[in-house]
Structure 1
């Protein structure tokens, strides 16, 4: 559907809605005004007749009442007046007019009760306005009521004329407006748009700049033509600069590739710093302990053994990085998990005591040997404990719990090793939880954090087929729960 038809139909619908609401409101207002006028005129007539009839009855001249009613019949054919007296005699100017039975009953009841009654009959589509007024006892000693029934046919006829006039005006205006909108839209919108479309088609098929479109007037379409002429000129000018920009783009791509290499080198450096930093921290702590306990041969040998293990570990890390190959998981071997975790706790014991942190280690008396990578499980515990120590300020506690549990693996529930590390540190903010295991994400960048500790934990646990869950409350501490499938040696 073209724009002109859409605009014409939209204007038609809007006019129909607006004038429909206005016409309905106008008819309702006109009906209310006519009713108010009829009611006011009927009340005025009834009170005037009431005074005259009371005077005539007080002077005992009923023939004057009959004459008055006949005059009303001649002057106002649409009004019927009756007088209800105690002897049920009805004096009226139109004895042949038959009122509806419901109206007769209502007027008779009002005469007996000497009540003022005013109502429309029927209530939904009234044909009559009924008004009954009792005689004033002070004016006449004879009780009774004056009943005035007015026909509403003239009022209905006036309303029908008003409705017809509104409908004719309404449809005439809508038809004229829609036709005018269609003609003007075709002249000022449809034709210029068609010319602009033809120019676009010619521009797409041409290899040379097309002739500029004529620009007349100062409306939006003239502005669009002017912008189209400017656009075609700029596009053909841009084609000439395309080769130079392509060359610049190639240079930019080479620069981005070099930058990507630098980023990779930076990530490799960060990984190297993290992988070697943890063993060096242990070496530093044990060297300090060795300096203080140099007189105890047993302690010296134990610390020296730890130093040898950590230097061997650094050697393996450096060898893998020099090979520039992905880290390969070491082969699993039977391992005493209780002892492997205890060795890590013992390595970090000096640093924990220096910070005023107490570490507790809960585990069963014995656990079956587990087929697992010992270096991997120790790396997991070392990273978790290092993070816990970094999160504790001004003393606190770390709890390590080792037990047997279960894990869902390949849709089957199997036995698993459960490792829990809890601390009373600062905890982790809720907005940081989704990024907790992402590489290089850290909240301790100013304190030397690399953001690789928990990423390494996640990688190692995933390689072993396990799961890791973090529970934390900001300002209260954190807890990490790790489940690893229990694989006994064959």
Structure 2
């Protein structure tokens, strides 16, 4: 089974298991049989050399007896006839009789070219009356030479040596044939074993693994319960298939439970966000009611003035303009409330972030003035439209500003800063929106910082705090792929920094 992996636009081809096993077996067999073949060849070569030496030595001793008898009877012609007969029967062997008086008896039908160094050595051996056996040359020899002395202790025949020179060309040819035979036999056996391993591996390893991979891909891409793989036999692959069937069944069940739990969690988070929004709006309702009550009183008074006397057209127009201004004011206040009413989750849309944040600040402006808190909004002159969840951004700003207002005792200041900068996201620099909200309130105790974004954690329980505001902020920021961090100093206020990835409209 061969797999192709693709990552970051590049393809990586991996060698299949069966090819790895086949190549490994081929390499191992080649190494083992190579070592064994080398050893076997050396052993056969040594055995063949021993046989040649033994045969040559036996022939030399047999001829020595015949030559001694012929020389004892002074039948030199018989010796020459014997040497010629040997040359005819065994062309690879030449025999000479060296006498110490420098006489040499040889056959006229010699078929070998005796090297001068061999002849010199044989003459020297004859003079010394020694038995000698050697190969010539010593490395990669062409001849086997055997020299046997005779007549050394007998006065009946002149002393000398029988020299037998044997050509090793036939032995070399036999060794070459044996080497070829061993190499062909071993290579054929290795090839047969390798092919057998390949075909058996395709049947018993590659095919089951391919089916297992296809089942994995089908399970990863499908939404239906996986079909169990057939389990045949009791080997390791059958056990793997059985475990795979059990695992896929459990994973599919766990996946279904996770999907259900995820939907429930999202619904719960959305419900908490809506509840937090309504709680925040409820806490602001008193101030908003007063803000709406003021123009209503003006409307009531001007309407009564019109009812009591409307003879002067100029006065009527002036009062009518006042009525229009005050009704527009009430309309704006009601629209602000409606904009923050619970809605369905918003998808990212092209949004003017500067205006989106300004609407929230305007919404909380009366409450800030009532508490004596000054809100300062700093932002670039213009920002390009960004694809962002407008409703989510407004709720983040609303919750952070509400917390800042609650943290200030008496008069104070809240600063809202909006900017565009680059941050690291997934190890890559991306453009992001940075929202900073700082206040001059009481700050946050160090022991409370680790729990700041936990649901229902609050230090203002007696003042009506629910512990949902910052938790909702954390949830919304995470859903948008951003980050939120808090910095504080006890008694000197706090600062919240939010980073949200910035996407340009298509």
TM-score (ref. length: structure 1): 0.48
Q: Which has the larger radius of gyration?
A: 2
